[in-house]
Amino acid sequence: MPAVTLQIEWNITMSDTSNPLKVGIAGLGTVGVGVIKILRDHADLLSQRVGRSIEVCAVSARSKGRDRGVDLTGFTWCDDATELASIGEVDIVVELIGGSDGPALALARETLKTGKSFITANKALIAVHGKELATLAEENNASLRFEAAVAGGIPILKSLAEGLAGNDVSGLYGILNGTCNYILTRMEREGLAFADVLADAQRLGYAEADPTFDIDGIDTAHKTAILAAIAFGMAPDMDSMPIEGIRNIAPVDIDYAQELGYRIKLLGLARRTADGVETRVIPAMVPLSASLANVMDATNAVVVDGDFSGPTVYVGAGAGEGPTASSVVADIIDVARGNVYPAFGVPAASLQNLPALPADKHSGTYYIRLRVNDQPGVMADITAALARESVSIESLIQRGTAPDEGVYIVMTTHQTVESSALSILKHFTALECVLETPTLIRIETF
């Protein structure tokens, strides 16, 4: 067979600053300011890498007079963010407003309808409206990019869509919320209660004044839905995802986890099974030997299981001005280079509506903690409840507290379906000897 020679002709004129790429930014919080700083401080470097200069030309925010530490002189100011879409010189619109609807959604729709590329760090917007926006982008020959929406400065979406494109991904899981990881880390290190660490985290700026989205797992759920969409070629699906946060994690659970060889982490999980796709946000016990167990403080981490690559691990800063702005600028550079591909790795029309695995069908092992009266017959009642659901115990720890406060009984189960584990909790709750609502935590061994 004769040799085949491929000849590639490059038509890139490097440092062609006569035709700069013009960017409009909606939202001038810490990330928006960070984007301006990167484009300003690395202007020459980016021009060399892209082949043309990149310039901010228009901005929009709630307050024009606020001092943000960057010079906005020379930028067109828009009181209404959607005006950015109609400014002729704007090539790319960057949305950093937040929220799944309202101004952010209106701006996304208007921008893509004009054929301009749209870049966002807004995980709620993409998790809820991702397929609609991906369709709009393709219909109008525009690019929709959202690397900064998941895991801050970690290029996890690009890794899934490009670096692991040759793999059939069976699952992924990760620590996707720095606030929760910070709280759990301090609870473990300092033996503090959840409420005390949360209050301190709010004072230090690690947690919002209203921390609901973080501590109740909603932020992690948005990110998990996006990761699953790219990994499995499916439309983002928030409706089918069970979500549980960390409000009910107590210091005693963290101590028992350590004794049993685990560490508690809030995880976003996405797996393909024979019965459907499982996506879920849960506090889980992770073996101390696992890579995720050693990810502490506000750091994020994601593990992806590919059939040819095997497990790959991505660790880094999950939030903050620099890391998140870095991912936004990476998207700008990709668009500037013409590196455009479908938002979720496959055409929007090909995104599947895959069946969701019901939460109670999950099969796994569980940690259960009870606080009970220290009296004869308690263990007989407990074992009878376990027998009714055909659940067997792998390990059991019984330890007293104060004489008038009862005793803790902690058990881990053998493999069982979640519906049986939840039924056991109902049986336990109904027992007169049980002094407080039982605690159930999934064990994940990966």
CATH number at residue 232: 3.30.360.10
DSSP state of 272: E
**Same domain flag for 174 and 288:** yes
3-class SS letters over 208-224 = CCCCHHHHCCHHHHHHH
Let me know if residue 234 belongs to a domain.
yes
Residue 120 pLDDT:
98
Using CB atoms within 10 A of its CB, is residue 164 exposed (0-12), middle (13-18) or buried (19+)? buried
Let me know if residue 300 belongs to a domain.
yes
Q: Which residues of the chain have pLDDT under 70?
A: 1-18, 401-403
Beta bridge mates, 269? 173, 280
Let me know if residue 74 belongs to a domain.
no
Residue 326 pLDDT:
96
By residue range, what is the domain housing residue 313? 168-317
> Is residue 223 flagged as an active site residue?
yes
**Same domain flag for 181 and 313:** yes
Task: Spell out the residues 6+ positions from residue 327 whose beta carbon is closer than 8 angstroms to its own.
Answer: 121, 147, 148, 152, 153, 154, 155
DSSP state of 112: H
Phi-psi label, residue 191: left if phi above 0, alpha if psi -120 to 50, beta otherwise: left
Residue 8 pLDDT:
29
**Same domain flag for 278 and 416:** no
- Domain boundary among the residues 317, 351, 373 is at 317
Q: What is the pLDDT of residues 334-387, one digit of tens each?
A: 999 988 889 999 999 999 999 999 988 999 999 999 999 988 899 999 999 999
Strand-pair category, 393-400 with 439-443: unpaired
Let me know if residue 388 belongs to a domain.
yes
Let me know if residue 13 belongs to a domain.
no
Let me know if residue 331 belongs to a domain.
no
Let me know if residue 427 belongs to a domain.
yes
Let me know if residue 281 belongs to a domain.
yes
223, 265, 361, 426: the catalytic one is 223
**Same domain flag for 312 and 380:** no
**Same domain flag for 395 and 265:** no
CATH code at position 382: 3.30.70.260
Q: How many angstroms separate the Cα of 342 from the Cα of each of 153, 304, 397?
A: 21, 20, 52
Task: Spell out the residues 6+ positions from residue 180 whose beta carbon is closer than 8 angstroms to its own.
Answer: 214, 215, 217, 220, 245, 246, 266
**Same domain flag for 408 and 290:** no
**Same domain flag for 177 and 313:** yes
Task: Spell out the residues 6+ positions from residue 294 whose beta carbon is closer than 8 angstroms to its own.
Answer: none
User: Considering its fold, how many domains does the chain have in total?
Assistant: 2
Q: Give which of 244, 295, 233, 237 is closest to 268, Cα–Cα.
A: 244
